[in-house]
A and B are shown apart, each in its own frame.
Chain A
């Protein structure tokens, strides 16, 4: 889709004029817009690990699938507006005479930062790593939670 809007008009590619450059600049800007306002459920940032974020009335939940990553190899940090998860996935060395038939699992380092909204309570962030799934619960700040108002 992007490809077509950029290059789909072959007659114009060979003309170079100020107007064309301006047009190109606008189209590149649009391309960045497309990536900037990506809809939920449509692709990802392309950074390991893939994450899901959900929101309910009290908290945000960030989850990631990290099979084989031990909690000691995972480094989680939260600042006022950013959550970073970094670590390393290790794959144990096997016997020297092991002949591999398939090798689809990968080892390596990873690092990812997630921007957080400012209405969060960084003091009470909780993380859990179970069965290879990391779940980080980030409570919303008191002022951001809905409050029931009693009717007099």
Chain B
């Protein structure tokens, strides 16, 4: 991806919940990058307005859940003159096919971007088995 590219505005994607929401307000799915190396799966998610305390990362039964609440100070006060984007909660789930080492999961949140590192469980080093001619 070129750095000189002009950024285009994209509408935030609304999250279509399979179940009805009990809390009012819009819910969005954060944009993510997911990449995998030999050792880990890394996930980067754009969650502007979410503080570390309001972010929930949960991994159980191979389902990774990201949920974030937007803090009150990003909600606008006063009369709205122009509204091009809405604020609301973030929610997104992923199912993981790799076995993750739960102990070593690392999550960092900076400038509204979550960086989640999910290390894979170390597999036994592949060994070549010599086949004897019998």
Binding site for B on A (CB under 8 A): 40-41, 43-57, 60-61, 63, 65-70, 88-91, 94-95, 97-110, 129-133, 135
A-B contact pairs, 28 of them (CB 8 A): A40-B80, A40-B83, A43-B84, A44-B84, A45-B84, A50-B9, A51-B84, A52-B80, A52-B84, A54-B78, A56-B78, A57-B78, A65-B112, A66-B48, A67-B47, A67-B111, A68-B111, A91-B1, A91-B33, A94-B35, A100-B34, A103-B1, A104-B31, A105-B33, A106-B8, A109-B4, A131-B51, A132-B111
Please measure, in the bound complex, the distance between the C-alpha atom of A3 and the C-alpha atom of B80, giving whole angstroms: 29
- A63 CB contact (under 8 Å) in B6, B36, B76: B76
Binding site for A on B (CB under 8 A): 1-9, 31-38, 42, 44, 46-51, 71, 73-74, 76-85, 109, 111-113
Contact partners of A105 in chain B: CB under 8 A: 31-33, 44, 46
Name the distance in Å between B108's Cβ and chain A's nearest Cβ. Answer: 12
- A65 CB contact (under 8 Å) in B44, B48, B77, B78: B48
A101 & B82 in contact (Cβ 8 Å cutoff): no
A61 & B48 in contact (Cβ 8 Å cutoff): no
Closest B residue by C-beta to A99: B36
B81 & A53 in contact (Cβ 8 Å cutoff): yes
Please measure, in the bound complex, the distance between the C-alpha atom of A55 and the C-alpha atom of B77, giving whole angstroms: 8
Name the distance in Å between B120's Cβ and chain A's nearest Cβ. Answer: 13
A-B pairs with the 4 shortest C-beta distances?
A: A132-B112, A56-B78, A44-B84, A132-B48
Name the distance in Å between B37's Cβ and chain A's nearest Cβ. Answer: 5
Name the distance in Å between B36's Cβ and chain A's nearest Cβ. Answer: 5
Name the distance in Å between B47's Cβ and chain A's nearest Cβ. Answer: 7
Contact partners of B6 in chain A: CB under 8 A: 48, 108-110
B46 & A68 in contact (Cβ 8 Å cutoff): yes
Of the candidates A56, A65, A107, the one having the most CB atoms from chain B within 10 angstroms of its own CB is A65
A132 & B79 in contact (Cβ 8 Å cutoff): no
